[in-house]
């Protein structure tokens, strides 16, 4: 559960993109670390929203970008998230809608870490996302 110990429930890899609440330099050489779980969840919301703005409109498109088949069993990832979040994989996702995004990010966190997400942490991450729009 590396993602949880890094307070990075989405296992977001180190990149040039810097997120609010990110700890730099990260002690983990592959994955970002955050000062709280809420900031880790905010980063997931920011990343998925950036995907939408760059043409990845459906959950299938987003997860294929987020968890590519070269590193993951992407079809299983999509199936897990669609079932847990009760969304369709080929319908456009509204990344500005908390009723859609909180269940999606919660399910992605569970897929990444093997344990259910703490709903309060995810909700706080959403609040940070709304308060600090990228």
Which tokens is 130 given? 């709304």
Integer Cα distance of 127 and 38 in angstroms: 9
pLDDT (tens digit per residue) in 16-74: 999 999 999 889 999 999 999 999 999 999 999 999 999 999 999 999 999 998 888 99
Cβ atoms of 31 and 5 within 8 Å: the answer is no
pLDDT at 72: 85
pLDDT at 101: 98
DSSP annotation of 22: E
Mean pLDDT to the nearest integer, 77-85? 97
pLDDT at 70: 87
pLDDT at 133: 86
pLDDT at 21: 97
Angle at 26 between CA 110 and CA 122, to 5 degrees: 30
């Amino acid at each position: 559960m590396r993602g949880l110990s890094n307070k990075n429930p989405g296992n977001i890899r180190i990149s040039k993109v810097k997120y609010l609440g990110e700890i730099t330099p990260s002690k983990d050489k592959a994955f970002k670390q955050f000062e709280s779980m809420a900031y880790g969840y905010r980063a997931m919301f920011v990343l998925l929203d950036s995907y939408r703005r760059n043409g990845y409109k459906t959950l299938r498109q987003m997860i294929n970008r987020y968890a590519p088949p070269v590193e993951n069993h992407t079809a299983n990832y999509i199936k897990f998230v669609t079932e847990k979040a009760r969304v369709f994989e080929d319908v456009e996702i509204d990344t500005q809608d908390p009723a859609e995004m909180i269940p999606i990010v919660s399910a992605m966190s569970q897929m990444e870490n093997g344990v259910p997400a703490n709903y309060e942490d995810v909700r706080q991450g959403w609040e940070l996302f709304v308060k600090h729009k990228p």
